[in-house]
Amino acid sequence: MTTLTPPPSPSFDVGEHNARISRVPYLSGLDGMRALAVIAVMVYHANSSWLPGGFLGVEMFFVISGYLITLLIIAERERSYTVSLVGFWKRRARRLLPALYVMLVLVVAYTAVFESAALGQLRGDVIAGLFYVSNWYQLWVGLGYTAAFDFAPLRHLWSLAVEEQFYVIWPLVMVALLGRKGTRKVADVSRWLFIAAVAIAIITALLYHPGPVGEPEQTPDAYWFIGDHAISKVDFLYIGTFSRLSGILLGAAFAMVWRPFAIVRGPLRGKGPVFDIAALFALVALGWMCWNVYLITPEGAADSRLFRGGLFAASILTLVLIAAVSHSGARSNVALGNPVLKWIGVRSYGLYLYHWPIYQAIRKLAGNKLTFSEFVVAMLITAAVTELSYRFIETPIRTGSFWSMIRRARSNPESFQWRALIAGAAAAAGLSLFAGAALATADVESNEIADEFAYNEESTVDLSAVGASVPEDSIASSTASPVTAATVVPPTAVVPITMPQTTLAPTGAADLPAATVISAPADTITVAPPPDTTTPPSTMPSIASLGLVDDATVTASLTVPPQGPAPTLRLIGFGDSVMLGSANQLAARGFVVDAVQSRQLSAAIPELQAIRDNGFLGSAVVIHLGTNGSFPQSSLDEIMSILDDVPIVVWVTGKADRVWIPGNNEKIRALPAAYSNVSVIDWEVLGPQCIGDCFYGDGIHLNGDGQRYYADLVARVLGI
């Protein structure tokens, strides 16, 4: 308990008048605001294409928390001249910890039984969640909000960590402020809090990285480096405590100047309709932002509108709503506090806490999107779990009735209530022990997609970095066959490919260019590469000495003139993580593969330029890009100008549940009509025809049979 000495001013009294002004009323409209915020977040988490900016609901939570916590502290100080820090933290603990503990135990137990390979990696998330430092942990280990390939049932705890860090520090700050100035002058501090919030918004805008976000090696400007450790700028700005303090400080500043019972006694008491109009505008504006603003845009970059004022604007709009619902003469409190929104808002903490793990149990990987039917099922489960938690865990412990219930039941050991409590306690203890033991003894394993990438990276090379520095005496001979006129598929050839079922053409396939791989009867694929693609035969030396792959698997090679530029690779695969997953298979079929995770098409242009300048473009280049973001036609044209002298350029369309894929594929399918050296493999159509264990859980990256199918398809299209 911290006791503050009352100020000596005789005008300061604690009569009924001031006690009423300092009282914090229950405002059902604030619960309605919480409901809108949590609905937006849950829709966004289910499928970001449904509501791209739904994550702004978290900003609403931050502003509301800053406002209410500050208002409660001021009210307590005015009532009794004291602010009990211990009492404040106890109330926060009773409100937050019980449901968090239950959720963590359930998640660990579920993971131990159904996702045991992910349990070791979950250990750090559980510890960070218990100590409310999840945001910093996720930043450090590189599993931020945008990481997609993990089973990550606790990733949403970052926002609770930001709030709890505020709950720990802010009461100490307020005690210092109130002890020095008293509540009458604390309003003067609000301007400094507002200035601090503006400063944070400006610093966030300056730190924002406007370009594509790929792997650190590909887009180093999108990261900060601590030694060799990369910290994503977009993740830091989105989940870091400092950058997200702006909304919380705005809420706190507003509480210092806007107390509901004081407003009705001032000149604004008759302006209720004006505030209703302002609230309607704020709702429409927030709705527009949720519909149009992104965290990561379809182009694969952090949205400048978000980090250059968007978060700040969302906070200001939230303040407008708070002002309206807390004005007794406005109708906003009644409208937003209707029974449906009130029910959701009162349970918003539980809904937020439980929905993400339930989503993950359904979709397995963080980057997967729920279908509408899966979303409905997830919401039904979430609502049921949340209601049980609210009725039997959160409310009894928060109000203190839990211990009263135990005392009553204990007074009659033969009662059903007492026996039920004993059974429930035993089950909870057993589940906790099981979860704790499983978590403590689990081995740390990377996810299977990351393992596949690491394995295949051994068969890739960064061609843009090799340059002409390769010594001639490091290149040995090889028995690999060159790509010649005899092995290139003629313009009208039909290349048989073993496919158990007929390939289906996409809608409108009849309108595609003739050189596009579409479909064919009798389990064949028709390919029409351009004519005049001869390449003189030559002796193809090995690149095993570069450490790319060994001689036994090298079928692509380098040609080094006695005097002259860097060697020429005959077959090149250039792509993103989809191609990376088949790098070993492609290398075994004669390709030198340059493929990396998260590669953006537009960002890859300088790399292709460097490969051409190094003399490493050969007879055929297969390009698989576009999975990680949209691209403009100008980027395609620029790439094709770089590849103008390559006899055969094969583009592969994308296959992914991403909003930009249809537009990307449309541009790729149109390339043969504009460029005579282009053919297209329509992977969006052919990929689903793979039979066997072809894709990992994300439906994008290739596994086992899919890797062989992909490599065979590419090789046979080129006639090798």
Residue 478 located in a structural domain:
yes
**Other Cβ atoms within 10 Å of 115 Cβ, number:** 16
**Other Cβ atoms within 10 Å of 610 Cβ, number:** 17
Quick one: average pLDDT of 397-422? 83
Residue 687 has a pLDDT of 93
More confident residue, 583 or 212: 583
Question: For residues 710 and 690, what is the distance between their CA atoms, to the nearest angstrom?
Answer: 9
On whether both 392 and 471 belong to a single domain, the answer is no
Residue 31 located in a structural domain:
no
**Other Cβ atoms within 10 Å of 80 Cβ, number:** 14
- Band of residue 560 on the pLDDT scale cut at 50, 70, 90: very low
Choosing from 445, 470, 490, the residue where a domain stops is 445
Residue 542 located in a structural domain:
yes
Question: For residues 425 and 283, what is the distance between their CA atoms, to the nearest angstrom?
Answer: 45
- For residues 528 and 492, is the Cβ–Cβ distance under 8 A? yes
User: Which pair of tokens denotes residue 64?
Assistant: 């509301």
Q: Which of 383, 377, 378 lies closest to 340 in space, CA to CA?
A: 383
DSSP at 55: T
Residue 117 has a pLDDT of 87
DSSP at 66: H
pLDDT in tens, 172-185: 999 888 876 666 67
Question: For residues 211 and 208, what is the distance between their CA atoms, to the nearest angstrom?
Answer: 9
Residue 17 has a pLDDT of 47
Residue 281 located in a structural domain:
no
Question: For residues 232 and 140, what is the distance between their CA atoms, to the nearest angstrom?
Answer: 9
- Band of residue 569 on the pLDDT scale cut at 50, 70, 90: low
DSSP at 591: -
Residue 245 has a pLDDT of 95
On whether both 70 and 213 belong to a single domain, the answer is yes
- Band of residue 22 on the pLDDT scale cut at 50, 70, 90: low
Phi, psi for 377 (deg, rounded to 5): -60, -45
On whether both 69 and 189 belong to a single domain, the answer is yes
Q: Which of 581, 574, 631 lies closest to 608 in space, CA to CA?
A: 574
On whether both 433 and 464 belong to a single domain, the answer is no
On whether both 590 and 485 belong to a single domain, the answer is yes
Q: Which of 140, 97, 104 lies closest to 122 in space, CA to CA?
A: 104
Which run of H or of E encompasses 622? strand 620-624
Instruction: Report angle CA 99, 60, 658 to the nearest 5 degrees.
Output: 90
Q: Where are the alpha helices (DSSP H) in 501-650?
A: 577-580, 583-588, 605-613, 633-642
Residue 233 C-beta-side C-alpha neighbours within 13 Å? 25
With a cut of 90, say whether residue 105 has pLDDT above it. Answer: yes
Question: For residues 503 and 491, what is the distance between their CA atoms, to the nearest angstrom?
Answer: 20
pLDDT in tens, 112-145: 999 998 899 899 999 999 999 999 999 998 765 4
- Band of residue 529 on the pLDDT scale cut at 50, 70, 90: very low
- For residues 357 and 106, is the Cβ–Cβ distance under 8 A? yes
- For residues 529 and 648, is the Cβ–Cβ distance under 8 A? yes
Percent of the chain at pLDDT > 90 equals 57
On whether both 534 and 630 belong to a single domain, the answer is yes
Residue 301 located in a structural domain:
no
The count of domains in the chain is 2
pLDDT in tens, 23-71: 678 899 999 999 999 999 999 999 999 999 999 999 999 999 999 999 9
On whether both 441 and 567 belong to a single domain, the answer is no
Residue 543 C-beta-side C-alpha neighbours within 13 Å? 28
Q: Which of 580, 558, 557 lies closest to 652 in space, CA to CA?
A: 580
Question: For residues 357 and 530, what is the distance between their CA atoms, to the nearest angstrom?
Answer: 51
On whether both 435 and 479 belong to a single domain, the answer is no
Residue 285 located in a structural domain:
no
On whether both 490 and 422 belong to a single domain, the answer is no
On whether both 412 and 480 belong to a single domain, the answer is no
Residue 281 has a pLDDT of 97
**Other Cβ atoms within 10 Å of 675 Cβ, number:** 20
With a cut of 70, say whether residue 538 has pLDDT above it. Answer: no
Taken as a whole, the chain contains a residue count of: 720
| β-strand partners of 496 | 524
With a cut of 70, say whether residue 221 has pLDDT above it. Answer: yes
Q: Which of 69-83, 431-445, 541-555 has the highest mean pLDDT?
A: 431-445
pLDDT in tens, 353-395: 999 999 999 998 878 899 999 999 999 999 999 999 999 999 9
User: Which pair of tokens denotes residue 642?
Assistant: 């770089």
- For residues 121 and 366, is the Cβ–Cβ distance under 8 A? no
On whether both 498 and 581 belong to a single domain, the answer is yes
Q: Which of 223, 246, 242 lies closest to 140 in space, CA to CA?
A: 223
Question: For residues 456 and 544, what is the distance between their CA atoms, to the nearest angstrom?
Answer: 16
pLDDT in tens, 590-609: 899 999 988 989 888 999 99
Distance from chain centroid for Cα 716: 37
Q: Where are the alpha helices (DSSP H) in 457-527?
A: 463-466
Residue 271 has a pLDDT of 87
Q: Which of 450, 439, 596, 582 lies closest to 147 in space, CA to CA?
A: 450
Which range marks the domain in which residue 481 is found? 460-503+515-717
On whether both 400 and 496 belong to a single domain, the answer is no
Residue 149 has a pLDDT of 64
Quick one: average pLDDT of 629-644? 94
With a cut of 80, say whether residue 516 has pLDDT above it. Answer: no
Q: Which of 434, 410, 432, 433 lies closest to 422 in space, CA to CA?
A: 410
- Dmax (CA) of the chain: 103
The CATH number linked to 630 is 3.40.50.1110
**Cβ-based burial of 146 (10 A; exposed 0-12, middle 13-18, buried ≥19):** middle
Q: Are strands 648-652 and 620-624 parallel, antiparallel or unpaired?
A: parallel
Q: Where are the alpha helices (DSSP H) in 413-536?
A: 416-441, 448-456, 463-466
Per-residue CA distances from 623 to 30, 132, 573 (Å): 52, 44, 6
Question: For residues 516 and 655, what is the distance between their CA atoms, to the nearest angstrom?
Answer: 16
User: Which pair of tokens denotes residue 483?
Assistant: 């790509």
Residue 503 has a pLDDT of 30
- Band of residue 225 on the pLDDT scale cut at 50, 70, 90: very high
Residue 303 located in a structural domain:
no
Task: Share the mean pLDDT of the chain.
Answer: 82
Residue 454 located in a structural domain:
no
Rounded to 10 deg, the angle between the 187-207 and 157-185 helix axes is: 150
- Band of residue 186 on the pLDDT scale cut at 50, 70, 90: confident
Q: Are strands 82-83 and 229-232 parallel, antiparallel or unpaired?
A: unpaired
Phi, psi for 177 (deg, rounded to 5): -70, -45
- Band of residue 448 on the pLDDT scale cut at 50, 70, 90: confident
Residue 497 has a pLDDT of 34
pLDDT in tens, 702-720: 999 999 999 999 988 888 7
pLDDT in tens, 452-507: 888 899 999 988 886 433 333 322 223 333 333 223 333 333 333 333 322 333 33
With a cut of 70, say whether residue 518 has pLDDT above it. Answer: no
Q: DSSP 3-state helix, strand, coil percentages of the chain (rounded to 5)? A: 60, 10, 35
With a cut of 90, say whether residue 288 has pLDDT above it. Answer: yes
Residue 20 has a pLDDT of 55
